[in-house]
Amino acid sequence: MRLLSLVRWELVLTVRGLATHLAVTLMSLASVGLVGVGIFGLNLWSPFPTGQSIGFRPDAAGTPQLSSLLGAHRGGVAFLVLLLWLLLVATLVGPAFGAGAIVRDRRSGRLDRVLADASRADAVAIAKLLASLIPLGIVLAAGGPSTSFAWLIGGLATREAMAGVAVLLVAAVLVAAIGLVCSAIATTEVGALVASYFVIGGLFLGPLVAGVGLALAGSRTAAVSVVSFDPLVALLSVQTSLTVGLTRALLVDWPNPRLFWLVGRVRVPVWAADVLVYALLAAALVWLTSVVIEPLHPIKTWRLRRAQGVSR
């Protein structure tokens, strides 16, 4: 009950501002505009396969043509673009909801009162995380109906769609957790926001840059393994046939991306492993936040307790 009271109070403070309402409005308008651009693009260029073709029409070099591939997976491509759009919005809006929460409370003196009332720093950290996740979820839900465009043009499997949504949601939780821990460490709201964008940029672009560097250095096996942890690659790997087709059409000289991890005799999809890694990392960041905001956390006072034990 104490945790729910903390979350309720944090949400009241969030709803009183205009940021959430403005973000929802802009998100709805932008998503509708994105769907409109997609419909207009289909009118100008229709990569729909003819006959009973499965979408792979090899040319003289044996490489599937890109237009035929996109035509066969038109629904999957549209859904992937929309998920990438929602992920981009989460990375841009998420830190704004949570990056300054702890900084403001510390500066106003409210953080000490909240810690005293809650008696547990981890409850305060979880409440702050939920208070930033709920408005972020509302913003993402405002653009959710635009994903129906993928089913409208067909070619999207329900299982792949659910897996893509799972990757998006866990990535949004990780973004919120990054903003929270940066808010706990930083001394100003601007510093927390800049640090959040820097860490999130490293998370989303770091594996890609590292993979390219390893591939150029000749370590292509390591490059494939590193790139597979990128959230963008996780969203793409949900659709196996589309991933393989795009790799053959666009990245001929590069190794195929990893789609499964072998754990004994069990094949674990890359996207499922990434979801687990993101969830564990988010939990670790929330715990780190509780350590930072708790003045007398055992990790901080172990030297003092050790010195007192020696003196006795």
Which string of DSSP letters, residue by residue, matches 214-253?
HHHTT-HHHHHHHHTTSHHHHHHHTSHHHHHHHHHHH-TT
Domain assignment present for residue 8? The answer is yes
pLDDT tens digits, residue range 84-107?
888 988 898 888 887 777 888 788
| Site of tokens 């003045």 | 295
Q: Which domain holds residue 133?
A: 2-295
In-domain check, residue 101:
yes
pLDDT score for 275: 92
Number of independent structural domains in the chain: 1
pLDDT in tens, the chain (312 residues): 466 666 666 666 666 666 666 777 777 777 777 777 776 666 665 544 444 443 333 343 444 466 666 666 777 788 888 888 889 888 988 888 877 778 887 887 777 777 777 677 888 888 888 888 888 888 888 887 887 777 777 767 888 889 999 999 999 999 999 999 998 888 888 888 899 999 999 988 888 888 878 877 878 778 888 888 888 888 888 888 777 777 766 665 665 677 888 777 788 888 888 999 999 999 999 999 988 888 776 776 766 666 665 455
174 is a domain residue: yes
Q: Considering the domain boundaries, does residue 287 fall inside one?
A: yes
Residue 107 maps to a domain: yes
The two three-digit tokens of residue 304, written as one number: 């003092």
Q: Is residue 302 in some structural domain?
A: no
Instruction: Please report, for residues 29, 65, 155, 295, the alpha-carbon distance to residue 81 in angstroms, rounded to integers and kept in the order given.
Output: 17, 20, 14, 45
* 301 domain-assigned: no
Three-state SS at 201: helix
Q: How far apart are CA 175 and CA 96, in angstroms?
A: 11
Instruction: Give the count of alpha carbons within 13 A of 245, CB side only.
Output: 22
Q: Residue 23: helix, strand or coil by DSSP?
A: helix
Q: Is the residue at 311 inside a domain?
A: no
